[in-house]
Structure 1
Amino acid sequence: MKYSKATNYALHTMLFLAMAPPNKLVGVQQLAEKQNVSPTYLSKILTKLVKEGMIDSSSGANGGYSLSHNWEDITFLDIIHAIEGKSSLFDCCLNSDPVCVIKEVMLSAEEKMEEALRNQKISDLVKKISVDS
C-alpha cells in the first residue's frame, strides 16, 4: 500500500507549520523549498488543507499559512483523508458475492491502521521533537 506524494507533503507541511513560531505566517515558497517541491504543486495541497479547516491562509505581500485554532487535535488520519479522500484502500473485484471474506479481512486490517493513524496527532510529534532537541 502506498499513499500519494501529496499526502507525504501534507503531513510534512503540517509539521513545519506546527514548528513555526506562534502567529507567524509561513509562505508557500518557504514550505516548498523545505520539501524540494514546486510551490504550484504544494499550493494545491494547501488548498485542500484550508478547505478542511486545518490551516488558515492569508493573501497579500505578507501572506502565508498558519495552523487553525484547533490544530492540536488534528490527526494523521484527518490529514490523509483531506488529501486521499475517505474511500477504502481495497475494492473487491467480485461484486456478485454479497459476503466477500477477503474484503472482510482487508477492511479489518484497514480499520486497525486507521485507528493507529487516528491516535497519532501532529501535536504529539511537536512535543516529541521539543523533548528530543
Structure 2
Amino acid sequence: MKYSKATNYALHTMVHLALVPGGKAVGVEYLAQEQKVSPTYLSKILTKLVKAGLIESTPGVNGGYRLIKQAEDISFLDVIQAIEGTTTLFSCSSLDHEPLTFHKGCYIQKVMLESEGKMKNELKNRKISEVVEAAKEDKK
C-alpha cells in the first residue's frame, strides 16, 4: 500500500502550520520552498485541506494558511482522507466466482475491509500534535 506524494506533502504542511507560533498565516511560497515542491502543486493540496475544514486561507499581503483546529484535534486519518478520499483500498474482482464468494460477498474483501478498518482506527487515533511534540523535542 502506498499513499500519494500529495498526502506526504499535506501531512508535512499540517505539522509545519502547527509549529508556527501564534497560529500566524503562512504563505504558499514559503510552505512550498520548505518542502522543495512547486507552489502551484502545493496550492492544489492546500485547497483540498481547506475544503476538508482542516485549514483556512486568508487572502492579502499578510495572508496565507493556518490551522482551523488545534493539532491535537487533527488526526492523520483526517489529513489522509482530505487528500486520498474515503474509498476503500481494495475492491474484490471475483464477486461472481465460486469458491471465492459466499452469500454475503467476497471472502477476500471481508478480510481486507476488516484490516483496513483497523488501520483507519489507528490513524484516527494518531494526532498531528504527536509529530509536533517530537519536532519540538528535537529542537531542544
- TM-score in same-fold range (> 0.5): yes
CA shift, 1:21, in A, is 1.1
The corresponding residue for 1:84 is 84
Identity %: 58
Distance 1:48 1:95, change over 3 A: same
Instruction: Indicate yes or no: 2:122 matched with 1:113.
Output: no
68-77 vs 52-61, greater mean Cα deviation: 68-77
Q: TM-score, normalised by structure 1?
A: 0.93
Alignment of 1:1-133 (within 5 A): 1-96=1-96, 97=101, 98-132=104-138, 133=140
Moved over 6 A (4+): none
**2:67 aligned partner, one-letter code:** L
After TM superposition, the score normalised by the length of structure 2 is: 0.89
Matched residue SS, 1:22: helix
Deviation at 1:126, TM superposition (A): 1.4
Which range moved further: 5-14 or 70-79?
A: 70-79
Mapped to 2, the partners of 1:14 and 1:69 lie a distance apart of 11
3-state SS, counterpart of residue 6 of structure 1: helix
Q: Tell me, in whole angstroms, the C-alpha distance in 2 between the residues paired with 1:122 and 1:22.
A: 17
Map Cα deviations across residues 75-108 of structure 1 (whole Å, 9 max, x no partner). 0000000000000000111132442111111111
Distance 1:48 1:99 in 2: 33
Q: Is the 8 A contact 2:7 2:80 kept in 1?
A: yes
> Structure 2 CA distance, aligned partners of 1:25 and 1:93?
46
State the shift of 1:116 in Å.
1.1
**Please, what is the CA RMSD of the aligned residues?**
1.3
Gaps of 5+ in 1: none
Instruction: Give secondary structure in 2 for the equivalent of 1:118.
Output: helix
Larger radius of gyration: 2
Partners of 2:124 and 2:23 in 1: how far apart? 26
Q: What's the offset of the Cα at 1:70?
A: 4.1
